[in-house]
């Protein structure tokens, strides 16, 4: 049996009872160590009475005044260097277990036995301490008195080792402690009696150590961990957890026994320690001080500690907390940060009823401004104001539309209403106002896509002039085009513009140019997704790509199909979802393809053909339409190919006749704005619909396809 040395962890056992008032004469220090209540100090010189200065007998510590400086002890031989009320810990220094060897064998051995007397509310900390073994050819074991657990580790190495800041496993090993530990027996032994390694590693040792403070880089395996001559042993910091009593918070609060009075004062929280199996006290958030004193936890004035407690506005201390109000004109939580615009100057308001009226007026203005600011920020104003899009105020558009007068209503769609408006500079615009049911917040995707859409610039594309972000749902502002839709010219007006083949070809060619621009030149490329001659709600039957209906995948070839339907509509004058002229139950595409197959194209045309040359051009046009409406998207041409073919056909037509004859009359009928044939409002970017921008559900954009 190896000899052992033991330390008893206990307090001086004297009768002490709980007290309500702590004497101001109670000492608070022993040397350099602060000793807060519930602990008390028993000086070896007998100069004070500790029993009126501690919570009870378990909390009396001994101060040896003969040392220089005086030393505070926990038990008999463990110097204390820190006591923490907040963490419920005592940090002490304990010597390590050691074995040292020379060529003849062991020269000195020191095993460690640490015991806490039963009934004391103290335990070794299982979270702060680690059992550590340092050496080569070293086996260290630890167990408790009751033998309820046993553990240890082996440390091996075959050359001189320096531990650089941590225990890496070579020349050192570690293992954790279990909970609720009051005794530890530590024994060291060598597997080979150090016969192989004693010359360069003569000593081995095992110890408990606080992980926060222990530094492995101070250890050298080739040196002795103590001085044999002076018996200055190698020591480490060890953390001991303490509690007031070994009972739960609920049990403590319900105890009526005066000897076990609940120890926590006002403004405190009771904390249960699983390791100790007892409770201790802490000040509640917003309070600071000693939770064991009758009035120990005092309110923190957070406003006097700006470096610790943030406030970007006006700070006001409250009991246990504080408030922080943002400056006038700003909003948010001042503890986090205020947003908005600071109002640095507020006009002084003086005098009676007049003052009250002015203040009321300012309140109304401020309310509206803050409401508009909230909507502006919510709808992405900080991002959008840097894009190439005009930001209108709500007041501007209310005035332009005469407060959305019904006489200025241009049309209605699934998303909202469109009103004609006249701005202050006499510019005519179309203002889209969403319906009540569509009041959804603008999202980040909308902000990004609007930034892209606003940069599209093509003469055949209806332009987005700007938007208003001050309303709950943004208002869209478009250029105003007064000539009506292509559908109206084909089906309702018997339009003089479309009376000739030349103009129908021009409409088709310029519309194809715009779609080609969206597909090929826009950055990023844009899939329109709703090409048609009318401005009905998006997804009109008859224009939709059958491949899209089956797969749900929207592609550029979907636009090619829809454009092919429009070409058929230009030729036949029939609506895509109507029955054929023969009365058969087939749609216009089937009717058109059947007529081509039977060489009956001339029979289905809705306009007069001026010459045989024009008929040849129309046949080429019809064949192109046929290619566009093929069921398989892969077999359809691209929009660029369609545009180039229509451009070639148009040049051919110009060379075949007197293109410039009656040009002034033609321009008068057509008008430059008549061929703005793609409304960018319902374009889809990256196959995602641009939220709140659709304008196909209104009846104002000429040739909107």
Q: Which residues of 354-386 are buried (b: 16+ CB within 10 A; e: fewer)?
A: eeeeeeeeeeeeeeeeeebbebbeebbbeebee
Q: Quick one: residue 119, left, alpha or beta (phi over 0 = left, psi -120 to 50 = alpha)?
A: left
Calpha distance 179→187 (Å, rounded): 20
Is-catalytic flag, 530? Answer: yes
Calculate Rg over the CA atoms of the chain: 45
Strands 684-685, 526-527: pairing is antiparallel
| Structure-token pair, residue 152 | 């240890």
Calpha distance 299→523 (Å, rounded): 61
Residue 36 has φ and ψ, to the nearest 5°, of -85, 155
Residue whose tokens read 């408990």: 208
Considering 237, 530, 559, 697, which one is annotated as catalytic?
530
Contacts of 198 (CB under 8 A, 6+ apart): 101, 102, 103
CB-CB neighbours of 16 under 10 Å:
20
Answer yes or no: are the C-beta atoms of 501 and 617 closer than 8 Å.
yes
Calpha distance 20→41 (Å, rounded): 18
**In DSSP terms, which residues pair with 330 in a beta bridge?**
340
**In DSSP terms, which residues pair with 111 in a beta bridge?**
4
| Structure-token pair, residue 381 | 């104003």
Q: Which residues of 178-201 are buried (b: 16+ CB within 10 A; e: fewer)?
A: eebbbbbbbbbbbeeebeebbeeb
DSSP class of 258 = G
Q: How far does Cα 647 stand from its chain's mean position?
A: 51
Calpha distance 293→5 (Å, rounded): 39
433 is in an annotated binding site: yes
The two most distant CA atoms of the chain are separated, in Å, by 131
| Structure-token pair, residue 409 | 């209503």
Which residues make up each annotated binding site for ATP? 433
Residues designated catalytic: 530
Which residues make up each annotated binding site? 433
């Amino acid at each position: 049996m190896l000899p052992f040395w033991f330390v008893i962890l206990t307090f001086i056992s004297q009768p002490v009872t709980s007290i309500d008032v702590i004497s101001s004469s109670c000492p608070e220090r022993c040397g350099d160590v602060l000793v807060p209540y519930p602990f008390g100090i028993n000086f070896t010189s007998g100069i004070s009475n500790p029993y009126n200065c501690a919570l009870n007998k378990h909390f009396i510590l001994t101060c040896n005044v003969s040392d220089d400086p005086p030393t505070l002890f926990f038990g008999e031989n463990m110097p204390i260097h820190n006591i923490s009320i907040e963490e419920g810990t005592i940090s002490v220094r304990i010597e390590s277990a050691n074995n040292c060897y020379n060529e003849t064998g062991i020269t000195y051995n020191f095993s460690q036995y640490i015991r806490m007397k039963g009934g004391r509310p103290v335990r070794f900390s299982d979270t702060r301490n680690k059992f550590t073994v340092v050496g080569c050819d070293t086996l260290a074991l630890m167990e408790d008195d009751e033998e309820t657990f046993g553990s240890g580790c082996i440390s091996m190495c075959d050359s001189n080792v320096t531990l650089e800041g941590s225990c890496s496993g070579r020349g050192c090993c570690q293992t954790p402690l279990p909970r609720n530990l009051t005794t530890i027996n530590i024994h060291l032994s060598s597997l080979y009696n150090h016969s192989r390694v004693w010359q360069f590693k003569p000593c081995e040792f095992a110890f408990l150590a606080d992980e926060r403070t222990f530094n492995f880089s101070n250890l050298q395996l080739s040196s002795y961990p103590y001085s044999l001559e002076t018996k200055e042993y190698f020591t480490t910091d060890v953390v001991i957890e303490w509690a007031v009593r070994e009972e739960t918070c609920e049990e403590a609060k319900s105890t009526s026994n005066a000897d076990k009075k609940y120890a926590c004062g006002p403004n405190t929280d009771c904390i249960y320690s699983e390791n100790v199996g007892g409770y201790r006290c802490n000040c509640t958030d917003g309070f600071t001080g000693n939770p064991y004193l009758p009035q120990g936890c005092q309110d923190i004035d957070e406003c006097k500690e700006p470096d610790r407690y943030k406030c970007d506005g006006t700070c006001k201390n409250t009991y246990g907390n504080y408030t922080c109000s943002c400056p006038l004109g700003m909003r948010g939580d001042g503890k986090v940060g205020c947003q908005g615009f600071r109002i640095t100057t507020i006009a002084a308001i003086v005098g009676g009823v007049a003052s009250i009226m002015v203040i009321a007026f300012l309140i109304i203005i401020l309310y509206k401004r803050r409401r508009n600011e909230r909507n502006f920020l919510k709808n992405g104003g900080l991002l959008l104001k840097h894009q190439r899009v005009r930001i209108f105020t709500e007041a501007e558009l209310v005035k332009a539309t005469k407060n959305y007068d019904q006489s200025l209503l241009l049309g209605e769609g699934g998303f909202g209403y469109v009103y004609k408006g006249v701005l202050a500079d006499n510019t005519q615009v179309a203002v889209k106002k969403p319906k009540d049911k569509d009041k959804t917040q603008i999202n980040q995707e909308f902000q990004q896509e609007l930034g892209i859409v606003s940069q599209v610039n093509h003469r055949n594309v209806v332009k987005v002039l700007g938007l208003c972000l001050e309303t709950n749902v943004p208002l869209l502002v478009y250029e105003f085009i007064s000539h009506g839709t292509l559908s109206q010219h084909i089906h309702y007006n018997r339009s003089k513009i479309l009376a000739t083949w030349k103009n129908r070809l021009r409409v088709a060619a310029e519309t194809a140019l715009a779609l080609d621009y969206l597909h090929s030149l826009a950055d990023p490329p844009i899939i329109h997704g709703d090409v048609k001659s009318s401005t009905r709600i998006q997804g009109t039957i008859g224009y939709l790509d059958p491949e899209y209906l089956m797969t749900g995948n929207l592609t550029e070839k979907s636009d090619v199909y829809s454009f092919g339907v429009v070409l058929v509509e230009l030729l036949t004058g029939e609506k895509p979802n109507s029955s054929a002229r023969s009365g058969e139950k087939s749609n216009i595409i089937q009717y058109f393809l059947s007529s081509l197959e039977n060489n009956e194209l001339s029979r289905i045309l809705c306009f007069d053909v001026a010459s045989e040359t024009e008929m040849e051009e129309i046949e080429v046009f019809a064949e192109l339409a046929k290619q566009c409406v093929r069921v398989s998207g892969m077999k359809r041409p691209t929009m660029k190919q369609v545009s180039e073919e229509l451009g070639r056909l148009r040049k051919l037509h110009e060379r075949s006749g007197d293109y410039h004859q009656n040009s002034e009359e033609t321009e008068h009928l057509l008008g430059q704005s008549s061929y703005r044939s793609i409304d960018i409002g319902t374009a889809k970017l990256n196959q995602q619909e641009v939220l709140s921008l659709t304008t196909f559900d209104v009846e104002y954009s000429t040739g909107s396809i």
